[in-house]
Amino acid sequence: MALLLRLVLLWGVADFTRSLSITTPDQMIEKAKGETAYLPCKFTLSPEDQGPLDIEWLLSPADNQKVDQVIILYSGDKIYDDYYQDLKGRVHFTSNDLKSGDASINVTNLQLSDIGTYQCKVKKAPGVGNKKIQLKVLVKPSGTRCYVDGSEEIGSDFKLKCEPKEGSLPLQYQWQKLSNSQKLPASLLAEMASSVISVKNATTEYSGTYSCTVTNRVGSDQCLLRLDVVPPSNRAGTIAGAVVGTLLALVLIGFIVFCCRKKRREEKYEKEVHHDIREDVPPPKSRTSTARSYIGSHHSSLGSMSPSNMEGYSKPQYNQVPSEDFERPPQSPTLPPAKFKHAYKTDGITVV
């Protein structure tokens, strides 16, 4: 009895498994960043599958830091594609009639964050099926730069380098000399498949145009390099010229600074003189002081006369003395002060 029950259960499971089948095998897909990835998921139904059709795509991120995320869903004859913010607007069903057996999707404008395992689940009761697809997003080589590391002189050692700005590993390199005028030195043949070519004791036969091609599984990029091996330059003259040029530049800068500072000092001095009030100029004399000074000087001149000059004359009697309000006539700044004559009488004779 138990054996019969077990057989019935096994037959039911086998029939259940056969009722809905996803024909697309598990697989891994590699695409370049920015491209569109087609993720297939085709299925077949059996007459026993009578329930509503539900299709669900899930993403298991590669970093394993997040739980499975529903990225697009078909249920109740409606499509829901805004479950996962990182893929919003970039994931679509490829078929307009999902009931025809095609649940494949396209993921557009691929980003590195899209790397992971995608799972397609199809359910139509009582049948259920699912398949997994691993997606890898690679970066094409781009921004490749070729350059010489060292001095391109005869007898010197230098390196030819080929460096892409970005590109997913593994990367393959291939150097080629494009100039046919000279053959490639045998010493370089062993390094033509590496990112760096080392040149020892360079000669003119190394001169020419080189190309470097960088390749990975999703694309390639190329750069060109012109190499000219020349005789050694006069390094002493070059250094001396650089030193002299530097000194001249410093002298010129010093002269400019000196002129600027001198001009500022002159402007400052002019402003100070313009606004300065001279404290050493005495105040103008009053009229009273001027008159007294004049009288005093006149008396002094009379006192200096000799007795012989005064012979026949008695002591003068002044009829009047200049008052305190005596005023000097106006005079030009460039002319000497005007002389005043005083008249007086003695013995009935008027003396001027």
3-class DSSP state for residue 18? helix
Strands of the chain, DSSP E = 20-22, 27-32, 37-39, 43-45, 53-61, 69-75, 78-80, 91-93, 105-107, 116-124, 127-138, 145-149, 158-163, 172-177, 196-199, 208-216, 219-227, 344-346, 349-351
Distance of CA 332 to the CA centre of its chain: 74
Q: What's the rounded mean pLDDT across residues 205-211? A: 91
119 has pLDDT over 70: yes
Burial class of residue 135, CB neighbours in 10 A (0-12, 13-18, 19+): buried
- pLDDT, tens digit (0-9, with 9 covering 90-100), for 264-273: 888 877 776 6
**CATH top class, domain 21-138:** mainly beta
d(CA 70, CA 60): 9
Structure confidence at residue 13 (pLDDT): 39
Structure confidence at residue 238 (pLDDT): 64
CB-based contacts of 76, cutoff 8 Å, min separation 6: 52
Closest CA to 160 of 125, 200, 126, 123: 200
Distance of CA 215 to the CA centre of its chain: 32
What's the distance, Cα to Cα, between the start and end of the chain in Å? 179
- pLDDT, tens digit (0-9, with 9 covering 90-100), for 131-182: 999 999 999 999 999 999 999 999 999 999 999 999 999 999 999 988 765 6
d(CA 344, CA 298): 14
And the tokens for 150?
């060292």
291 or 252: which leads in pLDDT: 252
Whether omega for the bond prior to residue 336 falls within 30 degrees of 0, making it cis, is no
312 has pLDDT over 80: no
- The answer to whether the CB of 135 falls within 8 A of the CB of 118 is yes
Place of tokens 């691993």: 134
d(CA 107, CA 351): 136
Q: Strand 208-216's sheet: what is its strand order?
A: 172-177, 208-216, 219-227
Closest CA to 32 of 222, 219, 220: 219
And the tokens for 148?
């010489």
CB-based contacts of 142, cutoff 8 Å, min separation 6: 164, 165, 166, 167, 221
The domain segmentation of the chain, as residue ranges, is 21-138, 142-227
Distance of CA 16 to the CA centre of its chain: 65
CATH number for the domain formed by residue range(s) 142-227: 2.60.40.10
Place of tokens 């046919």: 180
Pairing of strands 27-32, 127-138: parallel
d(CA 168, CA 202): 34
Structure confidence at residue 115 (pLDDT): 94
Structure confidence at residue 267 (pLDDT): 80
Average pLDDT score, the chain: 78
